[in-house]
Amino acid sequence: MRILITGAAGFLGSHLCDRFLADGHEVIGMDNFITGHASNLAHLAGHPGFSFIRHDVSNYIFVPGKIDAVLHFASPASPNPMSPFGYTNLPIQTMKAGAMGTHNTLGVAKANHARFLLASTSEIYGMPLEHPQKESYFGNVDTIGIRSVYDEAKRFAESLTMAYHRFHEVDTRIVRIFNTFGPRMNIEDGRVVPNFIKQALKREPLTIHGDGSQTRSFCYVSDLIEGIVRLLNSDEHFPVNIGNPVENTMIELAEEINRLTGNPAGIIFMEHARVGDDPQRRQPDITRARTLLNWQPQVSLEEGLLKTIPYFREVMNHA
């Protein structure tokens, strides 16, 4: 296949490029570097199957030649308002990437009779009142909350994807990604895993926002990529959760990272750093992924962290 991947210079996009190239496909990466970095693709320079187009997906997209699949991953993804890469500091760009970017990438898929896969998110469930979250749950999102620029853009993107499927018969997929981590996350984007690892490697206390009782369920990147490949190769048009169902509090995560890095500095609680609509609990129900895709995660949190910590150590040594 000849595959267009938007957000290719980001964390997940760059791993997708690697995977599809390794499987023998041709990949065209697209990115405007708003939160990603060219260094994530440097190792692909000169690869005969890879090409790159620097472009903002919010504007009309032209890609020469036939495309067989489009994977739309371009969007800021960190909620942390203390980071310049956080989507609350890029609110209009985030809404445009989710709305116009999804419209433009669906247009490419329609014109090419290509498969389309949307990177959606557990954030569409908002502050969930159902736990764990099944795909049938409609969510609980504040339309004007601080996170709404991301949540509502992704909800719109899901609706538009289904509209193109139902009305234009585009062969679409929707993956609802739960917290995924690994090498090539932007160390400055403020998401909890890179932030904690950076602090631990500097021998600083880890900053817990709020009281640390909030939970997340962390998936290692190789597991997520496998799930996405299986979904793309399936015939499933309705959303599928992909994530690791093992749930941890932020206190547990911080203690694990301090243990694995040997950081003696402990943790500090920043009571007021937690934004109002930061979900209190999040855990995927992955029954659909298990039954439809025969997929489940293989990598534990500890194993994943042990693969990720050396990457950030390297990044910090070269900073």
Residue whose pair of structure tokens reads 């090498």 in the numeric block: 183
- E strands, the chain, are 2-6, 26-31, 50-54, 69-72, 115-121, 171-177, 180-181, 206-209, 215-217, 219-220, 240-242, 247-249, 267-270
Question: Which partner from the list ligand NAD, ligand UDP, none does 79 bind, CB cut-off 5 to 8 Å by kind?
Answer: ligand UDP
Six-digit token string for 41: 């693709």
Q: Are 161 and 172 in contact (CB under 8 A)?
A: yes
Among the listed residues 108, 125, 113, the one whose alpha carbon sits nearest the alpha carbon of residue 57: 108
| Mode of pairing for the β-strands spanning 247-249 and 215-217 | antiparallel
- The CA-based angle 101-153-39, given to 5 degrees, is 55
Give φ, ψ of 279 to 5 degrees. Answer: -60, 140
Question: Active-site residue among 87, 125, 150, 220?
Answer: 150
- 150 part of the active site: yes
Q: Number of residues interacting with ligand UDP: please give it, by CB under 6 A.
A: 15
Binding status of residue 79 toward ligand UDP by CB under 6 A: yes
Query: What residue type is assigned to position 273 of the chain?
Result: A
The interface mask with ligand UDP, positions 271-290, x = CB under 6 A, is: ---x---x------------
Least Å distance between CB 39 and ligand UDP?
A: 21
Give φ, ψ of 267 to 5 degrees. Answer: -130, 155
The interface mask with ligand NAD, positions 43-82, x = CB under 6 A, is: -------------xxx--------------xxxxx-----
Least Å distance between CB 303 and ligand UDP?
A: 19
Question: Which partner from the list ligand NAD, ligand UDP, none does 308 bind, CB cut-off 5 to 8 Å by kind?
Answer: none
Binding status of residue 195 toward ligand UDP by CB under 6 A: yes
Six-digit token string for 49: 């199957």
Binding status of residue 241 toward ligand NAD by CB under 6 A: no
Question: Which partner from the list ligand UDP, ligand NAD, none does 57 bind, CB cut-off 5 to 8 Å by kind?
Answer: ligand NAD
Q: Are 12 and 75 in contact (CB under 8 A)?
A: no
Query: What residue type is assigned to position 97 of the chain?
Result: A
Question: Which partner from the list ligand UDP, ligand NAD, none does 180 bind, CB cut-off 5 to 8 Å by kind?
Answer: ligand NAD
Report how far residue 151's alpha carbon sits from residue 19's, in angstroms, rounded to the nearest whole number. Answer: 28
Question: Which partner from the list ligand NAD, ligand UDP, none does 207 bind, CB cut-off 5 to 8 Å by kind?
Answer: ligand UDP
Binding status of residue 180 toward ligand NAD by CB under 6 A: yes
Binding status of residue 301 toward ligand UDP by CB under 6 A: no
Applying CB under 6 A, the residues found at the interface with ligand NAD are 6-7, 9-13, 31-36, 56-58, 73-77, 97, 101, 119, 121, 177, 179-180, 186
Catalytic residues: 150
Binding site for ligand UDP (CB under 6 A): 78-80, 179, 191-192, 195, 207-209, 214, 216, 250, 274, 278
